[in-house]
Chain A
Amino acid sequence: DIQMTQSPSSVSASVGDRVTITCRASQGISSWLAWYQQKPGKAPKLLIYAASSLQSGVPSRFSGSGSGTDFTLTISSLQPEDFATYYCQQANSFPPTFGPGTKVDIK
């Protein structure tokens, strides 16, 4: 199975900050990577697919980049509604695997 890691595990930031989260795959997955946002008690929400494609309805302050084994999710200007946990997921092969998550909280 492909293992996914994320860093940092948590980040404290202020409204307006630029936040970058890194995801690494244990082997190359081309661009088969998705990013999700999850708020407490809620289901995950797809933000980014194919490493850099913005899901419909997702604000443009979210962006994704990378290919192969290293990927990033960037929030260009953090908004109050962005405080949540973010997960990456590889879609290259079964079983699909998730990273452990990065919690973004208020500084």
Chain B
Amino acid sequence: EVQLLESGGGLVQPGGSLRLSCAASGFTFSSYAMSWVRQAPGKGLEWVSAISGSGGSTYYADSVKGRFTISRDNSKNTLYLQMNSLRAEDTAVYYCAKLYCSSTSCYGMDVWGQGTTVTVSS
């Protein structure tokens, strides 16, 4: 069964750091680009970051650029999101998602984890 399982969320003070993990199973992890998407309480979906299958290419939303770092360890089938300089507006449920791509194009996100909650508050 294809599965993604996030961990690492919690309560952190403004300016603090947190590292999220996403453990993948049931598919060839290294063959797929991956993303992080977040959802603030009562709000819609916001794409945060993406990384290619090899890890050689990374992409960020302007709202997190310079503060968040996406990475992956294909030997451990695990995706990461290092979050620094956290702000109250980063409070959200963070989902990891597998990108649904052909050899040339990506169409959306076809597998999602259950989400992990990050709360930034003093």
- Residues on A lying within 8 angstroms of B by beta carbon are 32, 34, 36, 38, 42-46, 49-50, 53, 55, 87, 89, 91, 94-101
**Residues of chain A contacted by B61 (CB below 8 angstroms):** 95
Nearest opposing residue in chain B for A94, CB measure: B59
Q: Which interface class (under 10, 10 to 19, 20 to 34, 35 or more) fits B?
A: 20 to 34
Q: How far is the CB of B22 from chain A (nearest CB, A)?
A: 12
Given contacts A32-B107, A94-B59, contact A87 B45 (CB under 8 A): yes
Q: Are A98 and B46 in contact (CB under 8 A)?
A: yes
Q: Are A43 and B108 in contact (CB under 8 A)?
A: no
Q: How far is the CB of A37 from chain B (nearest CB, A)?
A: 11
Given contacts A43-B113, A49-B100, contact A34 B44 (CB under 8 A): no
List the 5 closest A-B pairs by CB distance, nearest first. A34-B108, A43-B112, A49-B107, A98-B45, A49-B108
A42 to B45, CA, bound (A): 12
A95 to B114, CA, bound (A): 22
Q: How far is the CB of B56 from chain A (nearest CB, A)?
A: 15
A28 to B32, CA, bound (A): 27
Q: Are A55 and B115 in contact (CB under 8 A)?
A: no
Nearest opposing residue in chain B for A38, CB measure: B45
Q: Are A43 and B110 in contact (CB under 8 A)?
A: no
Nearest opposing residue in chain B for A49, CB measure: B107
Q: Are A43 and B100 in contact (CB under 8 A)?
A: no
**Residues of chain A contacted by B95 (CB below 8 angstroms):** 43-44
Main secondary structure of the interface of A (DSSP, over half): loop
Produce 1/0 per residue, B48-60, CB < 8 A to A.
0010000000010
Beyond known contacts A44-B109, A49-B107, A95-B59: 14 more, CB 8 A cutoff: A34-B107, A34-B109, A43-B114, A43-B115, A44-B112, A46-B108, A46-B110, A49-B100, A55-B110, A95-B62, A96-B35, A96-B50, A98-B46, A101-B44
A44 to B113, CA, bound (A): 9
Nearest opposing residue in chain A for B112, CB measure: A43
**Residues of chain B contacted by A34 (CB below 8 angstroms):** 107-109
**Residues of chain B contacted by A94 (CB below 8 angstroms):** 50, 59
**Residues of chain B contacted by A44 (CB below 8 angstroms):** 37, 45, 95, 109, 112
